[in-house]
Amino acid sequence: MKYKRILLKLSGEALMGQKQFGIDNDRLKQYAEEIKRVVDAGLEVAIVIGGGNIFRGVQAEEGGMERTQGDYMGMLATVINSMALQSALESTGVDTRLQSAIELKQIAEPFIRRRAVRHLEKGRVVIFGGGTGNPFFTTDSAASLRAIEIDADVILKGTRVDGIYTADPEKDPTAQRFETITFDEVYEKGLKVMDMTAITLCNENKLPIVVFDMNKEGNLHRLISGEDVGTLVNL
């Protein structure tokens, strides 16, 4: 395998599947099966998932709500998605632990780095909910932070497109896909890979990112097996 320990970043919107809102159970089941396959192959897997299918702090601010309050609501949305993914994974027989940056002791462990690493070493999937636990930070930033803390080999950002393009491929048919790109080029070209806080964290800590299509069956397993899937962002 190409990697030993990964952090998989999933967007909340991806869980909507064909729905306009909430969680599509078929998509959830598909993701759980994809993750189970790489866990069975011996990979250590941590996951951060967004909450945009339920609530976004930025939207709340646009509606006149205080940004801090909206961001905390968004963090709770990530916990709901994390619980759904945990249930889906456990129904396939994958041992899973949910750790939250916000204390929710009835449903999740608090985030404790050493405990998270121990779970991974024992073959459990660890889902990090609640973002960073701080307002004004995205789940992209949470993914970068947690990946660095647990000493992951790479962040795999699962999206609905097969990599990073010169423009939005869903809007611009002439957009070209990059196979590899440097962090400096991401800055220079203003590419929306992750938010700049997350990109800077990865750049400064020499943590590569792979952006790939999570919705294509078998893609995650092909990626960790060393096949050329998605776009690699590296130094």
Q: Which of 176, 159, 174, 173 is nearest to 223 (CA)?
A: 159
* C-alpha–C-alpha distance, residues 71 and 7, integer Å: 23
- The helices-and-strands tally (H runs, E runs) of the chain is 8, 11
Helix (H) or strand (E) holding 128: strand 125-129
CATH of the structural domain 5-234, one choice from 3.90.25.10, 3.40.1160.10, 3.40.309.10, 3.40.1120.10: 3.40.1160.10
pLDDT by 10s per residue, the chain, length 235:
899 999 999 999 989 988 888 999 999 999 999 999 999 999 999 999 999 999 877 777 777 889 899 999 999 999 999 999 999 999 999 999 999 999 999 999 999 999 999 999 999 999 999 999 999 999 999 999 999 999 999 999 999 889 999 988 888 889 999 999 999 999 999 998 899 999 999 999 999 999 999 999 999 999 999 999 999 999 8
Q: What is the pLDDT of residues 185-210, one digit of tens each?
A: 999 999 988 999 999 999 999 999 99
pLDDT tens for each residue of 128-155:
999 999 999 999 999 999 999 999 999 9
Length of the chain: 235
Sheet of 231-234: strand order equals: 109-110, 96-100, 125-129, 44-49, 5-10, 154-159, 209-213, 231-234, 180-182
What predicted TM-score, i.e. pTM, was given to this entire model?
A: 0.95
